[in-house]
């Protein structure tokens, strides 16, 4: 039951906001689903589109 539900994103930290902005995305419109050493996984607040952004 509920196995296919999308997880809720969390508000980005200041460091994550700087990274998101540097890649020409508006950090106010994106929530963080996950993060690893290479990438940041975001979900759009309104459209639920998922993006994987590189950290380099």
Q: d(Cα 50, Cα 7) in Å, to the nearest integer?
A: 11
Question: Is residue 7 assigned to a domain?
Answer: no
User: How many domains are contained in the chain?
Assistant: 1
Q: Is residue 38 part of a domain?
A: yes
Provide the whole-model pTM: 0.84
Predicted local distance difference test score (pLDDT) of residue 29: 97
Tell me the mean pLDDT in the region 1-20.
83
Q: What is the pLDDT of residue 4?
A: 55
**Residue 32 maps to a domain:** yes
Print the domain residue range for 46. Answer: 14-54
The answer to whether residue 2 sits within a structural domain is no
Mean pLDDT in residue range 9-20: 97
| Per-position b or e across 9-44, b if 16+ CB within 10 A of its CB | beebeeebbebbeeeebebeebbbbebeeeebebbe
Task: Indicate whether 6 belongs to any domain.
Answer: no
Q: What are 25-49's pLDDT values in tens digits?
A: 999 999 999 999 999 999 999 999 9
pLDDT for res 7 = 75
């Amino acid at each position: 039951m509920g196995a296919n539900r999308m997880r809720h994103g969390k508000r980005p930290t200041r460091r994550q906001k700087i990274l998101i902005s540097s890649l020409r995305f508006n950090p106010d419109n994106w929530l963080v689903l996950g993060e690893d050493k290479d990438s940041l996984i975001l979900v759009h607040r309104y459209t639920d589109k998922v993006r994987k952004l590189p950290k380099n």
